[in-house]
Chains A and B, each alone.
Chain A
Amino acid sequence: MLSEAKSRSAGKIKFGVITFPGSNTDYDSYYALSEVLGNKVEQIWHKDRDLKNSDVIVLPGGFSYGDYLRTGAIARFSPIMESVIEFADKGGIVIGICNGFQILLEAGLLPGVMLRNESLKFICKDAYLSVQTRNNIFTKNIEKDVIKIPMKHGEGNYFADEETLKELEKNDQIVFKYSSKEGNTGQAFNANGSQQNIAGITNKKKNILGMMPHPENACDPVLRKTDGSFIFRSVVQSLLN
């Protein structure tokens, strides 16, 4: 199924993966998107300003600038972020994963902030995510209701004020919630204390996705988990149609 998707969409959509000082899943993203899923991928340095005609920009995970001050707070002012913000404002597709999500929050491209996990522990495990909506290109073509994606973070405890949470719900911006294998989104399955079990959201226009778990680490079949590929394939299919 994967190889079929690879050949059908091969090389038609170009992803741009940005590397900040301290990024550590930039190469994982590059590998998954190019080697595993067969897309064109550009690697982009944070000091550059050129997005190299990418159709989709990926802000990867890691610990940009050592997470100093607040996660994502300094990376948000990298030269490349000016181009990313301009690209996003024009409707360009942006995916922020883990630290990339934190950077999008700091840049104000997505609402809210990340607090330290309620348990104060760095959590590294496979998380089940209940797909809350398909009203966006990131999940539009995902058939499963629950996907299994690894999470690995210390500060993924999503917080927003009540008004913002209401807006998110009203506009169908909550994309993924931590859940049980069966899709139960009760508090018992809240991985890190996030409000409403939130694991991923989009902006109002739905061209920007931020998510804490790592879909790029669940693409290669050799890892025996491939649900992450559904998200990238959904984007590629949506852009090609």
Chain B
Amino acid sequence: MYKATVIIKRRPKILDPQGKAVEQGAKLLGFNNVDHTRIGKYIEFNVNTNDQNLAEKEVKEYCEKLLANPIMEDFEYSLEKV
């Protein structure tokens, strides 16, 4: 079995109103050096196979078809044998 972890990031050119708002909070708290806050998603799940190629293929397809929207997001993943 593999454990997959996926990180989904908003593309750099795409506005992230949520990151902007959180950063306003940071400034209010006095974190004056904080800049370019961007908010993404962290997703983890198991892939029930011992075939690493198959696991990679499934994770990639899962990301492309559902977890990320390629118009505004990029994804990266890692697999760990468990």
Chain B CB within 8 A of A112 CB: yes
Partner of B72, one of A69, A74, A77, A115: A115
A74 to B71, CA, bound (A): 16
Evaluate contact between A69 and B66: CB separation under 8 angstroms: yes
Q: Is A116 an interface residue (CB 8 A)?
A: yes
A contact residues around B34 at 8 Å (CB): none
Give the distance in Å from the alpha carbon of A113 to the alpha carbon of B15 in the complex: 12
Least CB separation from A161: chain B residue: B71
Is there an interface contact between A117 and B72, defined as CB atoms closer than 8 Å?
no
Q: A69-B67, A73-B66, A77-B66 are in contact. Are A118 and B72 (CB under 8 A)?
A: no
What number of A-B contacts does a CB cutoff of 8 Å give? 35
Chain A residues contacting B18 (CB-CB under 8 Å) are: 116, 120
The interface on chain A, measured as residues whose beta carbon lies within 8 A of the other chain's beta carbons, has a size of: 19
How many residues of B are in contact with the other chain, CB < 8 A?
A: 10
Cβ of A220 under 8 Å from chain B: no
Is B14 positioned at the interface, with any CB of A under 8 Å from its CB? yes
Residues of chain A in range 120-160 having any CB-CB distance to chain B below 8 Å:
120, 157, 159-160
User: Are A118 and B67 neighbours in the complex by a CB distance under 8 Å?
Assistant: no
Q: Determine whether B21 belongs to the interface, using a CB cutoff of 8 Å to chain A.
A: yes
CA distance A112 to B14 in the complex (A): 12
A26 within 8 A of B: no
Q: Mark A44-78, 1 if CB is under 8 A from B, else 0.
A: 00000000000000000000000001100110010
Segment 59-82 of B: residues with Cβ below 8 Å from A: 66-67, 69, 71-72
Question: With A and B bound together, what is the CA distance between A161 and B21 in angstroms?
Answer: 23
**B17 contacts the other chain (CB 8 A):** yes
Point out the residues of chain A lying under 8 angstroms from B72, CB to CB. 113, 115, 159
Known: A113-B69, A115-B14, A161-B71. 20 other contacts (CB 8 A): A69-B66, A69-B67, A70-B69, A73-B69, A77-B66, A112-B71, A115-B15, A115-B72, A116-B18, A117-B17, A118-B15, A118-B17, A119-B17, A120-B18, A120-B21, A159-B14, A159-B15, A159-B71, A159-B72, A193-B15
20 example contacts (A-B, Cβ-Cβ < 8 A) are as follows A69-B67, A73-B69, A74-B66, A106-B69, A112-B71, A113-B72, A115-B72, A116-B17, A116-B18, A117-B17, A118-B17, A119-B17, A120-B21, A157-B15, A159-B14, A159-B15, A159-B71, A159-B72, A160-B71, A161-B71
